[in-house]
C-alpha cells in the first residue's frame, strides 16, 4: 500500500526509503471455503502476467481482506482491474454475459448503501478476458477496515466457476490526522487478528511475537508515531528570596520517566522473556527515527538560575517523549502452497516512552511571595535575610509573573 502524508500532519522525522506499507493482502486470503479462487497467469490472459482471483457465480460468494495499515478516518483509494471469465465452456446466452458484483468496506451492515458500490463486466467473446480498470474512494469507517468483493450474479448452471475475475488490487491512503496525545498513559487499545478475524484478546499473538524476530516482524506506522512534550510537572520544592538582592541558586533535577504500552504491565514487559520483543520494537523505531529508543529510566540535570528579591521560584518539567504505534506480523513461508494468511497473526500495539532524540524542557517559574513564604521570611533574623528559603512549590500551571526556559548544564 502506498501512503501520502497530509500537510496537516505534525512535523516528525521522514520515514526512510523502505516499505513501511506492504501490498494489500490478496483478495480471499483468510476467507472460508475450500473451492479454488485462483486463476493462473495463463488463464487470466493479462499482459503483466499477473494471476487473478475469481468471484464464483451465485449470491453470497465473496472474497475479503483487510487494509492492515489503514486507520479510521483515512481517505482510501482502492484500485483494481476486472474481467469477465475466460473459462472455456461457460454459457454465453444473453442473460449470462453480464456478471455483476459489489465492493463493500467496513464491518457494518452489508446492506449499507453508503459503504457499497456495484460493478459489472460484460463478456463479448467466450474464453477471452477483457480487463478494465476500476477504482473506489472512501473514508475508512474503522481501523484496519475490511473490504469485500461479493458476486451478485445469479447461478444458472451446475458449474459456478464462471464468475468475474479480479486482479492487481491495490490501495493508497491519506492517513487520518493523528489524535492529540492527551497523556502518556492514554494509549489506543491493542488489537490482534488471526487471518481477517479480530481476536477476543491479544494473548495468543503476544505469546508468539514476544519471541521477537524469530517469529514476527515489526513495522512502525509513521503517521501515528511522533515526538511530543508531556504535560508540565513541578520538580522539587520552591525557593523564596527574602532579601533585597537577587540570589543565585543551583539544583540537580532528577526525575523518573516511566515507559508505557498497551500490551502488558510495565513490570511484565521488563521481564527477560520479553527482551526479544523489546529489541524488535527498538530496532524498528531506530530504523525509522534515526535515534535509539528508551523504555524507562531516570534523568538528572544540573540547572542554575537567579531568584529575584521578594519572589518565589520553582521548576517545572515538560518531558520529551515518543509515541510509537506499529504492527507485529507473524513470519510465514511466503513460498508455501498452503493458505498461510488464514491463520496468520497480526498484532497492533502502541508504546510511549522517554525520548532520546530531544531534550526535556525545564522552566523556571517565578511569582510574588506566597503568604506562607512571607510569614517564613518575617521570622528570619536580619543576618539571615539574604538566605533562600525552601518552601512548598505551587501546582504545575499556577500563575507565574515570569517564565524562563533553563539550559541544563553538564555535571
Contact 262, 347 (CB under 8 A): no
User: Where do the structural domains in the chain lie, given as residue ranges?
Assistant: 2-176, 178-411
Tell me the C-alpha to C-alpha distance, in Å, between residue 380 and each of 369, 371, 373.
15, 15, 11
Burial of 353 (0-12, 13-18, 19+ CB in 10 A): buried
- Helix (H) or strand (E) holding 258, with range, is none
Q: State the pLDDT confidence band at 397, using cuts at 50, 70 and 90.
A: confident
DSSP H helical segments within 253-402, as ranges? 266-269, 275-289, 371-378
Instruction: Give the tens place of pLDDT for each residue, 72-127.
Output: 999 999 999 999 888 887 776 655 678 889 999 987 544 466 788 999 888 878 88
The answer, yes or no, to whether residue 290 has pLDDT greater than 60, is yes
pLDDT of res. 10: 30
Instruction: Give the tens place of pLDDT for each residue, 42-87.
Output: 999 999 999 999 887 655 578 889 999 898 999 999 999 999 888 8
- The verdict on domain 2-176 having CATH code 3.30.1330 is no
Largest CA distance in the chain: 111
Cell numbers that stand for 382 in this block: 536580619
Higher pLDDT, 366 or 127: 366
> What is the pTM (predicted TM-score) of this model?
0.79
Q: What share of the chain is helix, strand, coil (3-state, %, to 5)?
A: 15, 35, 50
Give the mean pLDDT of the chain.
Answer: 82
Burial 270-305 (b: 16+ CB within 10 A, else e): eeeebebbbebbbebbeebbeeebbbeeebebebeb
Residue 217 to residue 203: CA distance in whole angstroms: 17
Amino acid at each position: 500500500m502506498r501512503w501520502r502524508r497530509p500537510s496537516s500532519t505534525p512535523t516528525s522525522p521522514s520515514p526512510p526509503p523502505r516499505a513501511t506499507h506492504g501490498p494489500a493482502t490478496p483478495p480471499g486470503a483468510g476467507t472460508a471455503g475450500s473451492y479454488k479462487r485462483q486463476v493462473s497467469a495463463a488463464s487470466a490472459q493479462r499482459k503483466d502476467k499477473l494471476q487473478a482471483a475469481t468471484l464464483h457465480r451465485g449470491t453470497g460468494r465473496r472474497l475479503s481482506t483487510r487494509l492492515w495499515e489503514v486507520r479510521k478516518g483515512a481517505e482510501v483509494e482502492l484500485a483494481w482491474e476486472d474481467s469477465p471469465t475466460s473459462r472455456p465452456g461457460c454459457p454465453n446466452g444473453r442473460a449470462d454475459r453480464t456478471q455483476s458484483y459489489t465492493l463493500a468496506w467496513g464491518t457494518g451492515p452489508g446492506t449499507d448503501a453508503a459503504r457499497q458500490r456495484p460493478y459489472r463486466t460484460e463478456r463479448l467473446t467466450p474464453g477471452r478476458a477483457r480487463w478494465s480498470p476500476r477504482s473506489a474512494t472512501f473514508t475508512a469507517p474503522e481501523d484496519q477496515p475490511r473490504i469485500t468483493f461479493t458476486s451478485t450474479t445469479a447461478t444458472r448452471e451446475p458449474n459456478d466457476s464462471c464468475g468475474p475475475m479480479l486482479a492487481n488490487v491495490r490501495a493508497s491512503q491519506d492517513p487520518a490526522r493523528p489524535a492529540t496525545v492527551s497523556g502518556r498513559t492514554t494509549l489506543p487499545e491493542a488489537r490482534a487478528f488471526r487471518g481477517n478475524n479480530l481476536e477476543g484478546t491479544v494473548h495468543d499473538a503476544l505469546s508468539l511475537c514476544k519471541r521477537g524476530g524469530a517469529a514476527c516482524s515489526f513495522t512502525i506506522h509513521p503517521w501515528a508515531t511522533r515526538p511530543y512534550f508531556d504535560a508540565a510537572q513541578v520538580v522539587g520544592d520552591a525557593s523564596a528570596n527574602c532579601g533585597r538582592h537577587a540570589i543565585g541558586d543551583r539544583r540537580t533535577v532528577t526525575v523518573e520517566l516511566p515507559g508505557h504500552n498497551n500490551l502488558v504491565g510495565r513490570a511484565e514487559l521488563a521481564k527477560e522473556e520479553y527482551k526479544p520483543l523489546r529489541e524488535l520494537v527498538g530496532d524498528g523505531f531506530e530504523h525509522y527515527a534515526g535515534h535509539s529508543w528508551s523504555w524507562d529510566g531516570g534523568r538528572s540535570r544540573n540547572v542554575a538560575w537567579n531568584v529575584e528579591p521578594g519572589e518565589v521560584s520553582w521548576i517545572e518539567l515538560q518531558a520529551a517523549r515518543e509515541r510509537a504505534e506499529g504492527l507485529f506480523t507473524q513470519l510465514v513461508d511466503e513460498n508455501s502452497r498452503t493458505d498461510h494468511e488464514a491463520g496468520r497473526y497480526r498484532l497492533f500495539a502502541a508504546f510511549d516512552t522517554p525520548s532520546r532524540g530531544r531534550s526535556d524542557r525545564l522552566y523556571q517559574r517565578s511569582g510574588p511571595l506566597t503568604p506562607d513564604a512571607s510569614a517564613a521570611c518575617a521570622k528570619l533574623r536580619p543576618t539571615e535575610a539574604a538566605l533562600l528559603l525552601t518552601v512548598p512549590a505551587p501546582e504545575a500551571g499556577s500563575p507565574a509573573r515570569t517564565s524562563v526556559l533553563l539550559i541544563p548544564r553538564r555535571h
